[in-house]
């Protein structure tokens, strides 16, 4: 059998450039336009349409003259554009517009993690049906080409675990708390001021953004279809400088960790703040950086890190997807043979745990906690208490030996009833270097 | 214009699996065979031929029955195999065999960095001419899919710098010296015993292996054609435990760093042991791990790390390339539009430097060194001397402010003439966190 990609390439070379329409001319959209306008003359891509609400206020002089600026989505979707770049975000109307574009045979490149997490398989099937491509390399870890790496570069492996620091906002906030000893609230304000957090930070700090990305990584890397709602999320809102103090004493730091593992016909998955050893790859990721780790049956652990957000990094991922399509390949639909399975999802990881209590001090507290844990067959590993705190709100930390999360949760239900607690204890898993 | 990769895919699905011939059934070859035999029934790849000298001693029972085992290369090259996997290594006869395979329209997947560094452009042109694919994802950093990432995932960026720890043997030896305080010779013996170094370690410890990989990264990432001989290499043979002691005092550690930068129409490139800050990504790479960093105009710095060697990691890269070809794409020849330029190469980086002297102690030594450096307009940054050494072979370290390597080299020619030296001074660049 002859393989003739060079012939395909030759015919491509004689074809006109693919026409690209950008929907949404914000930070990422304008960065994509900038890169497209910077391409050499023989580029296989040409920017032809920009859609935005009230597009006139978006118009810039560095975009070449023959681009159509439009506030009419019907006009753009009915145009001769070959590829639609969807950068408006959110579920609606992005879902409808992408569906319409694919149905009309246009390919779509999107950075919309929320939409792809929820409707990726359905949209990929739609793309496939209409002979179009759907690529979403920009939806996870921005400029770090991890989707491509899991899908292509590690295609020869059988991946069973993906994990990472997938939300730059959380990482920025946590490393601010760590380096400056400030509170979560103060760090959040700093992140908002620096443009790393939204006015409403819920999606980021409560884990929903990272969860969408984990769903996509699970699909691409673990070949498992998971719904976002199936994955347990813990917020980082309760992490304070004191938790870093205790973590450091344990040879660890704290990061928002997203992890998913395919094991015995199930997907183990969670997004939560966790203690990670100070010499682990995760611990070295500071500020708004992202990292993704994958573990494969044959190749062991591989790590990818870089700028996960920002207009330019995300735009690189978008343009890489565009070039991919221009080369006659596409994101997801060229390999329907790699089917993803629908698997049950659990958050019942087994690990050591960190418990931070804040109590009204009185005799018998440690005994009460120890008895409750013992009643649930959970072993205490260590008890840490720094001096110098007010006895009315005395913080201390208990670390536990390995146990399943569900076993701990049962114990926590009893622990939360103890009358000396100022507020509910904070729990975090303590991960090993390999996660 | 319609984009119809799904159609291509559909026609592929009805095609028989591509027939794969493995040349060389050593560690990597048998690992590739193992993964191919583990593939699901509908895999687009089927192992059909294994070539090795005296192949009978290689025969294993877990390879399915209809594979042709052969010691006759002409037979294998004339067979109906669609893809040749070249894993014999070295220049000859690999060069001839790959050329013959490509000329007959067979695609080739190879892990042969030496051959691809030297003859990659010529072989890619040959592949293109005959409508075949040539892929070499396994030639750099083994299982870390960096070739794919630079070529596909970061295609939308303009990369101007690539660097990394590309030789696991050197990294194993250096981190052994660091952690155990042993000599280079002792660490080499340990590396040989552990299977991380060859009986003749020249290619690894003197930098030639890493240099081949840097040539390939420069071509793929920086779009620059460089000949291996053009890149300056320094050996790690002279690094001792004492250099780690002094480096740690400077907030650094020592790694064999390969780096290439495209700037002002030139390629700056070198492979050498260097001081890197203890909090840099390079410093965290221990043992036989590899890391590659790329810097792009738009996306900033991205890092890729993992197992750079070993049968299974390299086999993952080979099989990923095979799957890529099976999907109707190919390694290098589908994008002749991304031409690489032939550029002049220089090793004249500007950086701070570390100089370790070993002297017969007598008055006036520091003055003599300082005067010589001053005569070449080089500023001393610091002088470090640990107590407790023999005055007949007294080691001490001088660090220098930033200067071009060539300026330092001129000064070194004078410094080497000084009569109190026990042996020639050791020089290493001191790199910044960004390299």
pLDDT at B3: 30
Q: Which residues contact A123 (CB under 8 A, 6 or more apart)?
A: A98, A99, A102, A108, A115, A116, A134
For chain A, where do the domains classified as CATH 3.30.360.10 start and end?
146-308
A161 touches chain B (CB under 8 A): no
Q: Copy the structure tokens of residue B359.
A: 């002297």
The active-site residue out of B106, B213, B223, B433 is B213
Q: For residues A236 and A253, what is the distance between their CA atoms, to the nearest angstrom?
A: 14
Kindly tell me if the per-residue pLDDT of A4 is higher than 50. Answer: no
Q: Which residues contact B90 (CB under 8 A, 6 or more apart)?
A: B112, B114, B115
Q: For residues B331 and A328, what is the distance between their CA atoms, to the nearest angstrom?
A: 14
Q: Copy the structure tokens of residue B220.
A: 């793929």
Q: For residues B188 and B200, what is the distance between their CA atoms, to the nearest angstrom?
A: 10
Binned at pLDDT 50, 70 and 90, residue A435 comes out as confident
Average pLDDT, stretch A135-161? 93
Kindly tell me if the per-residue pLDDT of A8 is higher than 50. Answer: no
Q: Is A176 a catalytic residue?
A: no
Nearest in space to A120 (alpha carbons), one of A340, A281, A314: A340
Average pLDDT, stretch A285-304? 94
For chain A, where do the domains classified as CATH 3.30.70.260 start and end?
351-430
Kindly tell me if the per-residue pLDDT of A53 is higher than 50. Answer: yes
Q: For residues A144 and B146, what is the distance between their CA atoms, to the nearest angstrom?
A: 12
CA gyration radius for chain A? 24
pLDDT at A15: 65
Average pLDDT, stretch A201-214? 97
Report pLDDT digits (tens) over B172-186.
999 999 999 999 999
Kindly tell me if the per-residue pLDDT of A67 is higher than 70. Answer: yes
What percentage of chain A carries pLDDT values higher than 90?
A: 85
Higher pLDDT, A328 or A81: A81
Interface of A with B in 249-308 (CB under 8 A): 279, 281, 284, 296, 298-307
Task: Using an 8 Å CB-CB cutoff, list chain A residues near B145.
Answer: 149, 152-154, 302
The active-site residue out of A19, A113, A213, A223 is A213
Binned at pLDDT 50, 70 and 90, residue A16 comes out as confident
Binned at pLDDT 50, 70 and 90, residue B271 comes out as very high
A2 touches chain B (CB under 8 A): yes
Kindly tell me if the per-residue pLDDT of B434 is higher than 80. Answer: no
Average pLDDT, stretch A132-146? 93
CA of A409, closest CA in chain B: separation in Å? Answer: 35
Average pLDDT over chain A reads 92
Kindly tell me if the per-residue pLDDT of A76 is higher than 80. Answer: yes
Higher pLDDT, A14 or A402: A402
pLDDT at A42: 80
Contact A303 B304 (CB under 8 A): yes
For chain B, where do the domains classified as CATH 3.30.360.10 start and end?
146-307
Task: Return the CATH number of the domain spanning residue range A351-430.
Answer: 3.30.70.260
CA gyration radius for chain B? 24
Task: Using an 8 Å CB-CB cutoff, list chain A residues near B137.
Answer: 153
Q: Copy the structure tokens of residue A354.
A: 């960190």
pLDDT at A10: 37
Helix, strand or coil, per DSSP, at residue B340: coil
Report pLDDT digits (tens) over A210-262.
999 999 999 999 999 999 999 999 999 999 999 999 999 999 999 999 999 99
pLDDT at A139: 95
pLDDT at A12: 45
pTM: 0.92
Classified by CATH at the fold level, domain A146-308 comes out as Dihydrodipicolinate Reductase; domain 2 (3.30.360)
Task: Return the CATH number of the domain spanning residue range B350-430.
Answer: 3.30.70.260
Task: Using an 8 Å CB-CB cutoff, list chain B residues near A155.
Answer: 319-320, 323-324
Nearest in space to B84 (alpha carbons), one of A7, B213, B129, B74: B74
- Which of A301-310, B9-18, B67-76, B320-329 has the highest average model confidence (pLDDT)? B67-76
pLDDT at A377: 98
Binned at pLDDT 50, 70 and 90, residue A309 comes out as confident
Whether the Cβ atoms of residue A281 and residue B284 lie closer than 8 Å to each other: yes
For chain B, where do the domains classified as CATH 3.40.50.720 start and end?
5-135
Report pLDDT digits (tens) over B21-62.
999 999 999 999 999 998 877 889 999 999 999 999 999 999
Q: For residues A386 and B165, what is the distance between their CA atoms, to the nearest angstrom?
A: 41
Interface of A with B in 16-35 (CB under 8 A): 16, 18, 31, 35
Kindly tell me if the per-residue pLDDT of B233 is higher than 90. Answer: yes
Report pLDDT digits (tens) over B374-429.
999 999 999 999 888 889 999 999 999 999 999 999 999 999 999 999 999 999 99
Q: Which CATH architecture has domain B146-307?
A: 2-Layer Sandwich (3.30)
What percentage of chain B carries pLDDT values higher than 90?
A: 85
Q: For residues B334 and B400, what is the distance between their CA atoms, to the nearest angstrom?
A: 47
Contact A6 B128 (CB under 8 A): yes
Report pLDDT digits (tens) over B273-298.
999 999 999 999 999 899 999 999 99
Report pLDDT digits (tens) over A343-365.
999 999 999 999 999 999 999 99
Q: For residues A106 and A95, what is the distance between their CA atoms, to the nearest angstrom?
A: 14
Domain B5-135: CATH superfamily, name plus number = NAD(P)-binding Rossmann-like Domain (3.40.50.720)
């Amino acid at each position: 059998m002859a393989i003739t990609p060079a012939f395909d390439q030759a015919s491509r070379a004689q074809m006109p450039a693919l026409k690209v329409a950008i929907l949404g001319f914000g930070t990422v959209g304008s960065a994509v336009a900038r890169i497209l306008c910077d391409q050499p003359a023989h580029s296989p891509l040409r920017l032809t349409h920009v859609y935005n609400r009230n597009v006139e206020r978006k118009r810039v002089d560095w975009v070449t003259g023959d681009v159509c600026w439009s506030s009419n989505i019907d006009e753009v979707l009915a145009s001769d554009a070959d590829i639609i770049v969807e950068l408006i975000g959110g579920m609606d109307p992005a879902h409808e517009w992408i569906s319409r574009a694919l149905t009309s045979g246009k390919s779509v490149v999107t950075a919309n993690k929320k939409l792809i997490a929820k409707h990726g398989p359905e949209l990929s099937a739609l793309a496939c049906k209409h002979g179009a491509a759907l690529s979403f390399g920009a939806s996870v870890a921005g400029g770090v080409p991890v989707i491509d790496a899991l899908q292509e570069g590690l295609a020869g492996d059988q991946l069973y675990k993906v994990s990472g620091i997938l939300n730059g906002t959380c990482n920025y906030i946590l490393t601010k708390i760590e380096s400056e000893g400030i509170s979560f609230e103060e760090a959040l304000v700093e992140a908002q001021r620096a443009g790393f957090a939204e006015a409403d930070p819920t999606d980021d700090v409560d884990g929903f953004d990272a969860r969408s990305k984990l769903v996509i990584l699970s699909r691409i890397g673990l070949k498992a279809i998971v719904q976002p709602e199936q994955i347990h999320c813990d917020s980082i809102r309760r992490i304070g400088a004191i938790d870093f103090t205790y973590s450091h004493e344990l040879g660890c730091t704290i990061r928002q960790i997203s992890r998913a593992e395919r094991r015995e016909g199930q997907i183990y998955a969670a997004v939560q703040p966790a203690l990670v050893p100070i010499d682990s790859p995760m611990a070295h990721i500071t500020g708004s950086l992202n990292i993704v780790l994958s573990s494969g049956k044959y190749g062991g652990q591989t790590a990818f890190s870089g700028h996960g957000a920002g207009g330019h990094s995300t735009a690189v991922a978008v343009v890489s997807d565009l070039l991919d399509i221009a080369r006659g390949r596409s994101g997801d639909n060229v390999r329907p043979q790699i089917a993803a399975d629908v698997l049950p999802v659990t958050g019942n990881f087994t690990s050591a745990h960190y418990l931070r209590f804040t109590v009204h001090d009185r005799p018998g507290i440690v005994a009460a906690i120890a008895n409750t844990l013992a009643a649930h067959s959970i072993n205490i590993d260590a008890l840490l208490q720094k001096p110098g705190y007010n006895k009315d709100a005395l913080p201390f930390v208990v670390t536990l030996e390995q146990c399943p999360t569900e076993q701990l949760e049962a114990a926590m239900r009893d622990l939360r009833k103890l009358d000396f607690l100022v507020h509910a204890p904070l729990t975090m898993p303590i991960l090993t270097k390999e996660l």
